Amino acid sequence: MFNDFLKTLLTDSSLLFDPGLNFLDTYSKEFSNYNNLVDLGNNKEKSEKFIADLREVSNNPKSNFFDQIETFLNKQYEEIKKTVPLKYVDMLTVEMYDGLKWIPNDIKEKMLISKLFTYNAMLNVKFICIQYPEGIPEEWKVQNIDKGDWLDLRVMEDVDMKQGEFKYLDLGISISLPEGYEAILAPRSSTAAKHGILQANSIGVIDNSFSGPNDIWKFPAYAIRNTHIDKGTRICQFRIQKSMEKTIVIAEGKPEGKTDRGGLGSTGEK
């Protein structure tokens, strides 16, 4: 996103000799990554130089660099608020601002810099909205990922099943998926061994259209033994991924330009 931001600025011929562009070029590494900017703040000599350069650009009457940044960010904001609740945008902007404590508060451009990183991050993050049943403990809600790449879900009822029985287990949530994305639901690796159930359809594919408040997610369970599962137990996991492109054209006929591999198992066993 930073490269897009830079290209946007460069399309304005009035900025070609703006001193702000020299400032941006000097600190391009820092501006392209928030952690780099925070690390810059931990280096006293470099951070003092950055602040001095920032003040010089800010006070230069020949520069409208930060005016251009503000215009650009306003356009980004209009795009972001289409998919992300504004309370989260504002909250993350404040958190980002707090992370730049080493930049003096009297520099008005500090908030612009904070917005720059926040908005760019928002445009690269996919937002999902999860509706929970009333009264569930906070720790039962979907948590941010610390380990692994999937998000765990819990059963929202006490479950008793006999061996060979099939049942839809209530996961209690409905999720609004980002446009152009679908969800994959799968058992946790320990579910069969610990709780004696399999996911009957192997994995679940949840289309983007299944995103309404009454589209409650469920786990199709098949019991391989008599089992009891307590309400609140984590039994499955999900992730979101891009849906298949709608530009694919389906044609009928013999595959062109391909040779047979030899059927199932043709790559060998050892």
For the chain, the 3-state helix, strand and coil shares in percent, each to the nearest 5, are 40, 20, 45
Helix (H, G, I), strand (E, B) or coil at 209: coil
- Answer yes or no: 67 catalytic: no
**For residues 93 and 115, is the Cβ–Cβ distance under 8 A?**
yes
Structure tokens of 19? Answer: 């001193």
Residue 246 DSSP code: T
Q: How far apart are CA 62 and CA 11, in angstroms?
A: 18
**For residues 112 and 70, is the Cβ–Cβ distance under 8 A?**
yes
Q: Which amino acid is at 87?
A: K
- State how far the alpha carbon of 257 is from the alpha carbons of 99, 248, 254, 260, in Å: 56, 18, 10, 10
- State how far the alpha carbon of 126 is from the alpha carbons of 138, 224, 233, 243, in Å: 22, 37, 27, 13
* Catalytic entry in 12, 39, 207, 230: 207
Helix 109-124 with 34-41: angle, nearest 10 deg: 150
User: What residues are labeled active site?
Assistant: 207
